[in-house]
Structure 1
């Protein structure tokens, strides 16, 4: 007794009497445990009356736990399920099984509580053990319930005779494998398909599984002399208590597609198939995933969760739950809401957020820098602290309480169980943790555009949108500084009259009514408010029926201001965003928006996006490629209109984006065809080798001068020749067929229109023999064509051609061939005549032909004249000056012509300056959604000099 007296003395004085009374009752019925365990026993019994009472009522329980060593170790995977099965093996009927499950439950709950209070288990182990116990109990009870019902009615079968099994979804903390000590278990029952049983007492599947579900609930939930196993809550099923207990998969999908509510999305985040037909359960969850995780960014989740939290806050105040560890300010629910808000918003696009456990979500938010690392660390620490408090509150009497104790002994008991000397020390730590959580919650969920915020932009313009009187609206907008109130009112009227607006749901109209005053206020601050508003209204129309985009702008003042700024600066950007509204999330972070990625960053970003695409999902793959391209181009355009980038760098960025996308499409198409048919091979000069493939870029891509919306001029080559030209797979193809399929697939990936639009338009007419030629030429055949059949204009095109995809050896062969062709000796007079005549035909067909207007590209002295002069000089002199054929872009070619003395420094400088000025003006017009035409006098200073040089070089003998 001396050892126990010492153990008792180590407890706070107020906790000793209860522990001593339990000890007296225990030792009256059984031998005391080993002395080495007494200090631990006293601590555990002081923290859990449930454990102390269980040991006192059933001394053999403690003896068994001590003798087996189960208090000192974690169970192996599946061990708990095996233990329950062994315990229930002899149960022949419901009553026997209920008794066996309850006895097993008490033993395991004592073990779990003991290990937690004694410090033998981590929080993760404790929550995992509790979840495993629930999983095992539900699965075992379901197995027996199904067998007993099948004995009466036969096995349920689908329409094709396939046996059917119930699927049990675990929801909430059970689904997330985070079950607390005395939690209910939230379940949903489903079965794959309708049908009927095959027994003599045939019944339909729904009736069968309803009976199974009812029996399962009774086995677990019904109170007996041995207590219960788990309280079962079925209210999360479709239609709640008023809905059927079980439903088919089709009924589930229909319900969530047509009637699913926002709180049900939140509930389904943690749904897990945890008993019954697990494979079928995974299929059901996969089918429901689009309801939970939407493909677009759903900032409406903030609004929904904010509303749910407001309801909880009112409940807290009404019921006096401010000291509730789960629902109170800074409690467990707020940590969960923080993580789950990001899951609902971004989970459709980021599979890394489709996880059930809150700690895994927080880790992902840290790794993706959506939350600062220090904030995540403190949130996780607070969550762990609060979950331990929750478990130790409930372990005292195996009760469902979440309230901090009011009376002194209960407070001391909790503080002691949590490792604090007294209530004051515990309370200070609790307040510090919950205060931080509440602060983070407010930061994440603060309503930045709240109507009562005194500084909310646009409050003064509320009347312009709300008013039905046009004069009143005009006056309101004029007072705000709109330069053309009439035009602005007309834009608002068109929005109200649009079909998209008239077909909006009430929720969407409510969001639009909140957004419009903010939008008008932001538009009033730019240089031409009416024009900006007109552009934004055209952008709003296609997104009105997806009101989550409206929520994004309401929730993010910075995104709204960037939208207005960019639309005011560029019609093209406004149209780009209207076509691809998924890009609106790019407006959230200006530090990224105005910083285009370099080539290495582009490759890394594309790999990151594609890593999230499910294997085999071609549509998702194409959409990911398109989103990458459109978002990267938006960054370039945003930097461009903000004068962050010079013209040549803009083209460099657009070219880099196209090349990265093109290389990835080639790699994906190549890998897919090789997997089907094997690698193309050939025997060349007696040596077996793999055949290679290359993509040659012509035009603007070849010249590194890509613009917004430019086509890709591509030629495809391979180097297969000799004998045995076929692939080495089981489904072998001859190499020409393989490469033709490859090119067709690449073109399809680039040009196919999906929900994300298209990547690029592709022009392959520059291949040998144009449209009548093979889609993919051998390098030998291409060389022969260029040497013997190509027209002069085709050699002009070759001046701007470069290999952008292909192995080094094949690229070098193409470059050598290009150097050879461009370096051929030509008759200068005949060459000049052919180049001039081609240019004159183009000018006649494509020029402005409008008095007082000038086409920047096609009219005399324009971009095409400069390009043709450069191409003529390269073709005429590359035989003597090979450096002329080194580069493919006009600016460096002009530099080479200057360096070789073929153009004077004055002439080369004039052409460079004119070329840049014309291209810069064309870029600007493109961003404004205008054609490449200006008033004739606007660029005359540049174009007149270029026209004189054209005359001197190309027209005077």
Structure 2
């Protein structure tokens, strides 16, 4: 008996993924003996309960029940295709129940390996409505309603075949979408044949072309979607144009109704002509000339974006092809329109803003991280780059993405990630729509629906959790890459250029370069040819980058230097996979690189020695100077990793070079205040000195084969001690040592000298980075005195022989390198000397003034203009600093705020102590800041230290550019400096000279 033969149990069904066990057991009973052999395949479907119920119902409706069951048992391929459909879509399951004979279509073995040709699909549909596939003539016979239903049945039969292939044979989503598009095109042709029968002989004089837009035009249609079209018409030869247009309009209107009307066989899909000129307010049908005139005069940016996917699919194909040929040049020049990129970006934002809040998070099409993000990014890249590169003009998203990746417009990893995410999301969209053949893009929240959906996507173990995790992963990746590509700053710059400029035509390049401001256009052209020659991916990326970068170079003071520097950097890094990709994908990096190369010889020299610094340009955060503590840890660790002291200091200097570049670029881009530049340079220098002292100490320890008998400290002096270094400042220092308990004084002194000499030797070694000159001339007795002293020796000297200028020099002393305890004790030693409790005497004040007068007379370089010498000129840095220092020596004993090595802090303290008026302090501060900023900018431009404003007009213009002045206003920069220095000088006359 059957009950004895059956082994199915409730537990077994649950293990096979069934949920409604009672209903499924009943359905299996209806299948009889075949159920045991079919169970394992039923269990692989998206919804086993639904699959077995539909199968039992279908078996009851077919003419030969046993033939169906035998075929399913004997042919696993046919069984798999039928069950996959029944378990994943109620709409096609219901279709099979209405037309049970269509199950035979799923026994076709070719379904598993062959995609039907578009002409074959079209032929099947035309024959179904009684039209001749050779000329798509009007339907010859039959009642209109019967023919319309015949079209629906034929469409669903072909859709059934496609769904079976899709669900059971792993067909690529791009092939599925293309086949759906072919099916739509054939349906439009069949509907047009029915429409011609309806309209009658008046349609004979009308040539009507149907242009598919959107997904159908791009060969990437969904299972359920509006089919967007544009209608173009012309009168046939010998016919009146107005009559032909009226007839064509009737044909178009009937075609739309035939596809979208509901009948006993349901509907197919709406045909939407809203993308036509003037939208729903415009005429349904236009001539070629009318279309062309509209697009030339009135079309908006989004209309050209829509036309990117235009494709003739039905009706008069030659007419449709002529339409596409006429609009194509306008499509590929659309990116030249003012504000094109920002307008497309704004349109995408508006789409997101109009998504209902309840659906925003689970919208896989329109929401952030959804299909539209991929499509908009790809289309924007196509429209920007496609005018000069025809290889990226494919209307299909995945094909276009592939070509953009191959052409270097999208990075390989980014392209692969977008491709994978888009395929996943489109497959998910297809599975959602197949369920009831309804247009939906919102991921369900119902657990059962998610379970069925997950299983249809191949997630069988934990379908809901696996589906959600994979969907979120792809959405995050799409959001990230959409922001990166769609809002890439480089796009706007490239889009502004004309197509011939984007191609860098050799015939006009020299003229263009000269017009942009290149002083040597021939040399510039040689650089361009070297960068862009060949067919390599790198050359292609360079051809994309250079039009924009040429403009950015031209916006800076020295375009020729910028282009030459870019060639050098590119040749140094050309084989590095990240370099050109970073410039292409991170437009800010490319623009910043162009700015620094064409503005700062100092930063360019640093970058050429370490081109990897390009990575720092990616963000403001990456250009934030590192703290001394972080740098000191990195540098000392690098020094300790090397036994050879030369190798140790070489590693330290490489870190210093990197940090100098970081600071120079941040300064150049206006990310650092002038005082912050001084602090940052001081931190780098102090960390470098600390690491070099470690390396020197280790070297001497290795020589002695034992620990050092003394501790050494380095006291920063001058601008280093004041935390006010400029790019070219020396490191003024004092050296102090302190023997360890029990060490012989003579041995400790000799070892201290050895350490200091090794320290100076290591830092003086020739190298490719800017020199760090260590100057110890401010030590007691100057060059005649010992290089390094004990703390007690300093104490005796300062107690017995120190003069006022030495106390003044100690105002800038900061013991910050070496033994921490020794640094503290040295500071305690000198504080009473530099900050005397009662202030300095009147005689000492006169001595300070006498020394300043001598400096003014003797130190200004011969030929230097005292008005524009930033350091020693009238109202310059020395004037301000000597004035502040005199206030400190006179009043710091009783005003704690003045006990600082920093000029600007001392100025503020003097105001708070009523020693200066706010206006006087502001005048001094403004002069100090202005002179310091100009001094740094001059070093940036010239690549070497300078204390005077440049006399060369081009260099002076470059300094003005760095300081934020508009082009052509370098004279205003000089006038501004003269004004602030004059005001400062007036304060100096009153406060310093009395």
TM-score range, shorter chain: 0.3 to 0.5
TM-score by structure 2 length? 0.46
Highest CA radius of gyration, 1 or 2?
A: 2
TM-score by structure 1 length? 0.47
